[in-house]
Amino acid sequence: MIRKLFFRLLAAGAAMVFLVVTVVGLVTWLALMEPGFYTELRTQSLSPDERRALVERFEQTGEGLVRWRAMSLARQKPATQSAQGEWLQALGGAAPYDPAKDTRALRITEQELNALLADKAMDPSGDLRDPRVRLTEGRFELGVELANSGVECVFSAILEPTLGEDGTLRLEIVTARVGRLTLPLDTLLAWLPEPVVYSGHDAEIDLTPPAPHLKIKSLAHSPRTPRVKSIVCREGELVVEFSAPVLPDQNRKQAAAVADAKESAG
């Protein structure tokens, strides 16, 4: 009787050990596998010339945004404050320029974004390397390779972009994974003894449940910078729409007065 009970306990213990080893092995295997999107993007690696061409195209798009901003600010100034005032007034026609109606869309493709990340990325010999992003409908997946003590795995997160009223870009952390292993984010964050908030000059990360997020503060509105009006994530493309910067009320009133005077004189 005792012998039979002993063998039963031994068999149960062996089964438990086997189950634990299997689960640990499965978890480790999933954690070391690359996410599907990351593997797919890795196979689409560009040549240095192709990457440089994409980066230059992105930079040209950014330069166009800077020129549009400068033109908008110049058109809001009275002619006496701008050497191009007369020309800008003529360009605007009879109707006064209204910056509130002036918008510009910045389109960034997935290829351009990944080329830019590869060009500006962290030291490839460091612990964090090879960042890649996949743009999908309404959200994007960001992955980065972690290499430490000879062990390599990919940490990734699904982020959902939203805009605050002050123009800050907020990236909601929907899910996080190590390899193909989805982390129980809500449970892990609930175990934190106190809220975790790291804030820098341009960005902030807030891991406070139930809505952990990243916040890009450098997109916040100031009088001389374009305001982010909307941000739309599509399959393979990110579209950011900007509203023109608006000068303080006094400058706009002066510009309107000059426009009225020119119209009366004409």
Instruction: Phi first, then psi: give them for residue 202, nearest 5 degrees.
Output: -105, -15
- 74 sits in the region (left: phi over 0; alpha: psi -120 to 50; else beta) called alpha
Is residue 102 domain-shared with residue 141, that is, in the same domain? Answer: yes
pLDDT tens-digit map of 205-249: 777 777 787 877 665 556 678 888 889 999 999 999 988 888 776
Half-sphere exposure of 130 (CA within 13 A, CB side): 15
Is residue 166 domain-shared with residue 242, that is, in the same domain? Answer: yes
Is residue 25 domain-shared with residue 136, that is, in the same domain? Answer: no
Is residue 74 domain-shared with residue 182, that is, in the same domain? Answer: yes
Please tell me the predicted confidence (pLDDT) of residue 68.
92
Please tell me the predicted confidence (pLDDT) of residue 131.
87
Half-sphere exposure of 212 (CA within 13 A, CB side): 23
Angle at 229 between CA 228 and CA 234, to 5 degrees: 95
Please tell me the predicted confidence (pLDDT) of residue 67.
92
Give the C-alpha distances (Å, rounded to integers) separating 32 from 26, 76, 129, 146: 10, 56, 16, 10
Tell me how crowded residue 84 is: count the other CB atoms within 10 A of its CB: 13
pLDDT tens-digit map of 116-167: 888 776 555 567 788 899 999 999 999 888 877 667 888 899 999 988 776 6
Contact predicate 199/208, CB 8 Å: no
Closest CA to 209 of 166, 158, 183, 173: 173
Please tell me the predicted confidence (pLDDT) of residue 64.
92
Please tell me the predicted confidence (pLDDT) of residue 117.
85
Is residue 243 domain-shared with residue 187, that is, in the same domain? Answer: yes
Res. 250: pLDDT tops 50: no
Is residue 18 domain-shared with residue 104, that is, in the same domain? Answer: no
Give the C-alpha distances (Å, rounded to integers) separating 247 from 72, 103, 135, 261: 10, 15, 35, 20
* Domain tally, the chain: 2
Please tell me the predicted confidence (pLDDT) of residue 235.
93
Distance between CA 194 and CA 153 in Å, rounded?
A: 28
Cis bond before residue 248 (omega within 30° of 0): no
Is residue 10 domain-shared with residue 80, that is, in the same domain? Answer: no
Expressed as residue numbers, the domain containing 17 is 1-32
pLDDT tens-digit map of 161-204: 988 776 678 888 888 888 888 888 777 777 766 666 777 666 77
Please tell me the predicted confidence (pLDDT) of residue 7.
61
Helix (H, G, I), strand (E, B) or coil at 15: helix
Res. 21: pLDDT tops 50: yes
Please tell me the predicted confidence (pLDDT) of residue 220.
56
Please tell me the predicted confidence (pLDDT) of residue 38.
87
- The residue type at 266: G
Distance between CA 96 and CA 112 in Å, rounded?
A: 37
Is residue 40 domain-shared with residue 28, that is, in the same domain? Answer: no
Q: b/e for 119-151, b at 16 or more Cβ within 10 A?
A: eebeeeeeeeebbbbbbeeebbbbbbbeeeeee
Burial class (CB in 10 A: 0-12, 13-18, 19+), 97: buried
pLDDT tens-digit map of 55-109: 899 889 989 999 999 888 888 876 555 455 555 555 555 467 788 888 999 999 9
Is residue 98 domain-shared with residue 157, that is, in the same domain? Answer: yes
What is the DSSP track for 84-128?
THHHHHHHH-SSPP-GGG-EEEEEEEHHHHHHHHHHHPPPTTSSE
19 or 65, which is more confident: 65
Is residue 119 domain-shared with residue 97, that is, in the same domain? Answer: yes
Is residue 7 domain-shared with residue 121, that is, in the same domain? Answer: no
Question: How many residues are there in the chain?
Answer: 266
Give me the torsion for CA of 181, 184, 185, 191, rounded to 10°: -130
Is residue 68 domain-shared with residue 11, that is, in the same domain? Answer: no
